[in-house]
Structure 1
Amino acid sequence: MRKKISIVIPTYNEEANVVPLSKAVTEVMERDLSEYDYEILFIDNHSKDNTQALLRGLCANNKKIKAIFNAKNFGQARSPVYGMKQAYGDCVVRLTADFQDPVDMIPKFVREWEKGTKIVIGIKSASKERRTMYWIRSCYYRMINKITDIDHINQFTGFGLYDKKFVDVVRDLHDPLPYLRGIIAELGFDYTAIEYTQPKRRAGKSKNNFYSLYDYAMIGITSYSKVVMRLATFAGFIIGGLSMVAAIVYLIMKLMFWNRFSAGIAPLLIGVFFLGALQLFFIGFLGEYVLSINTRVLDRPLVVEEERLNFDEEETEKEEDVQ
């Protein structure tokens, strides 16, 4: 019996890409990996364009192509991980739908997997996206590596191959805010990294905006870092000590030069605004931690499915066992 490779592709408003991407993946699998069976699993995050209709057509014409339609948009962190949990191949390859994850990397991943590596990931050595965005991502990776207890993988977006043993680990997790980069670094097997140059998006516009990227970044920080909240404690001690020193100096100067010394109201205003800003900053971060805790305590499902196509009864039973 041939081993099966599952290719999981999250989508959201990708009507210009799903058909050519499925064709490209099929060609690579049948040309370079013909010794393997395969399936292509699209998980659609409630697209508003023609994406779902195109996926229905693909599934009707090719039983190796499967689709899950979410009941609403559950975000870029939850839907892809849920898609991985529904894939039961001997390994799972995760791709983005915009061609920024090169399809021709799949055979390279598989050849490394054949050597016994459980996780093979793609690392961006360069990118043809906007330089500003690439620089911001680089700064985030450097920052999160310094403030967390685990070694996060720089310039890693989730593009890679995962052995079924690791997928089983992910499947057993009941985390409504999964952060795959952190899961690999904390719970994953040793991995092999293969560098690649990230191309530009083939068609359409990126669905990522400042809010969605900020939201995903906060998941990483609140899930794996204690530093920010401890900085608040240290800052309180330091500023309190400095305030005490300033008060003593002010008192001495006033006693020594009663009529000539006048500090004015400016230091008071500066101090009030500075402390107010500092408090709001840390209260905001505290709120992020509370929101993260609240979401995890509620333990809601990763996604709610509206429909699935080309899944047989056995796979449906497995999916129900996971939930």
Structure 2
Amino acid sequence: MKELGILLKNLISKKIVSEYSKLLFVDDGSRDATWQIIYKESLQNEYVRGLKLSRNVGHQNALLAGMDAARKVADCVISIDADLQDDIAVIPDFLDKYSDGNEIVFGVRNKRVTDTVFKRTTAQGFYKLMNKMGVELVYNHADFRLMSRRAVDELLRFGETNLFLRGIVTLIGFKTASVFYDRKERAAGETKYPLKKMLAFAADAITSFSITPIRLVLLLGFISFFVSLIFGGYFLTLKFFGSTEAGWTSLITSIWLIGGLQLIAIGLIGEYIGKVYKESKRRPKYIIDVDLFDPLKINGKERNPYESYSMPVNKLPETN
């Protein structure tokens, strides 16, 4: 908070941004003291505001909730993860690009020297795979970006439940630019994206934006069919010349191979059907518990607009 606060005050003093600019922190249903820290800071710092979600809804939905709240009072919003590994020193460059008429500005990493070899290899492979599947992504861009209010308004028109913002933002089509930076080492804490979550995130991204995997399974089915015809003709030829022998190895191998392919195909189709099922429910992506942008929505209840909005520090909202 301190680093961002210093940066914001500096931008205000230079009249680069409005004096009414704010820092909005989104608490995605945390179970630690995150919300107490945000709330206390909001009472002491005029630039800090908070948004508390009723439960954990995931990184992408929480990010969308923050942008939705911020765009109501801002000409543009900049999203950044709270660990501040992304370099906030380039934020003035974001604003310069915005002033030049760009409605979306992507923060792009120069290189991945701070990543492990495994993470660097898998991340780069992911971007290349997505591009080959026809999904337009900005290489080495995560969720550090600037978006104009108009761009966020258009983003909110995408109604899908399975969010992959890196892919959706590129579909908006407004004028864009990129700002390059070097990512810093993590100062404290541990990543909230272990291998399991990264794999799930990649799978969601692929199945949310491309039907190429199903087409590959279809292609594999045709290949297996034609290969089986070739082998069938081969074995009939052997039988005709009386050279056949009973072979359990080839039989069992064929059964396991075809069975495995069928299970993979069924599982992949099931993944897409599951996404259709989730989309059909049209459930809200998130529910706001406390909105410090709007004093009329504290703990989800309507409040008297003439009533004091500040809660005593010793009576902080409870965390989940």
* TM-score calculated relative to the size of structure 1: 0.85
Aligned counterpart, 2:302: none
Root mean square deviation, CA, Å: 1.8
Structure 1 63/174 Cα, relative in aligned 2: closer, same or farther at 3 Å? farther
Indicate the SS of the match to 2:77. Answer: strand
Structure 1 85/186 Cα, relative in aligned 2: closer, same or farther at 3 Å? same
Answer yes or no: is the 8 Å Cα contact 1:78–1:177 preserved in 2. Answer: no
Offset at residue 212 of structure 1 (A): 2.0
Offset at residue 115 of structure 1 (A): 0.8
User: What is the CA deviation profile of residues 165-218 of structure 1, one whole-angstrom value per residue up to 9, with x for unaligned ones?
Assistant: 101112233222221111122123131112211112111001112332222222
Aligned counterpart, 2:272: 289
Indicate the SS of the match to 1:86. Answer: helix
Aligned counterpart, 2:215: 230
Answer yes or no: is the 8 Å Cα contact 2:26–2:50 preserved in 1. Answer: yes
Aligned counterpart, 2:97: 112
Q: Which amino acid aligns with 1:30?
A: K
Is 2:252 the partner of 1:273? Answer: no
Indicate the SS of the match to 1:206. Answer: coil
The separation in 1 between residues aligned to 2:157 and 2:177, in whole angstroms, is 23
Answer yes or no: is the 8 Å Cα contact 2:137–2:167 preserved in 1. Answer: yes
Q: Which amino acid aligns with 1:79?
A: A
Is 2:7 the partner of 1:28? Answer: yes
Q: Which runs of 4+ in 1 moved over 6 A?
A: none
1:177-192 alignment to 2 at 5 Å?
Answer: 177-192=162-177
1:231-246 alignment to 2 at 5 Å?
Answer: 231-246=216-231
Aligned counterpart, 1:211: 196
Aligned counterpart, 1:76: 59
Aligned counterpart, 2:32: 49
- Give aligned pairs, total: 291
Offset at residue 64 of structure 1 (A): 2.2
Query: Which is further off, 168-177 or 189-198?
Result: 168-177
Aligned counterpart, 2:178: 193
Aligned counterpart, 1:154: 139
Q: Which amino acid aligns with 1:218?
A: A
Is 2:154 the partner of 1:169? Answer: yes
* TM-score calculated relative to the size of structure 2: 0.86
Indicate the SS of the match to 2:57. Answer: coil
Is 2:122 the partner of 1:136? Answer: yes
User: What is the CA deviation profile of residues 257-278 of structure 1, one whole-angstrom value per residue up to 9, with x for unaligned ones?
Assistant: 34xx325111111111112222
Answer yes or no: is the 8 Å Cα contact 2:101–2:175 preserved in 1. Answer: no
Offset at residue 312 of structure 1 (A): 4.4
Is 2:34 the partner of 1:40? Answer: no
Offset at residue 117 of structure 1 (A): 0.8
Identity %, equivalent residues: 26
The separation in 2 between residues aligned to 1:85 and 1:60, in whole angstroms, is 22
Offset at residue 144 of structure 1 (A): 0.8
The separation in 2 between residues aligned to 1:191 and 1:268, in whole angstroms, is 57
The separation in 1 between residues aligned to 2:175 and 2:54, in whole angstroms, is 36
Is 2:68 the partner of 1:85? Answer: yes
Answer yes or no: is the 8 Å Cα contact 1:65–1:310 preserved in 2. Answer: no
Answer yes or no: is the 8 Å Cα contact 2:5–2:47 preserved in 1. Answer: no
Offset at residue 295 of structure 1 (A): 1.3
The separation in 2 between residues aligned to 1:23 and 1:42, in whole angstroms, is 13
Offset at residue 310 of structure 1 (A): 4.1
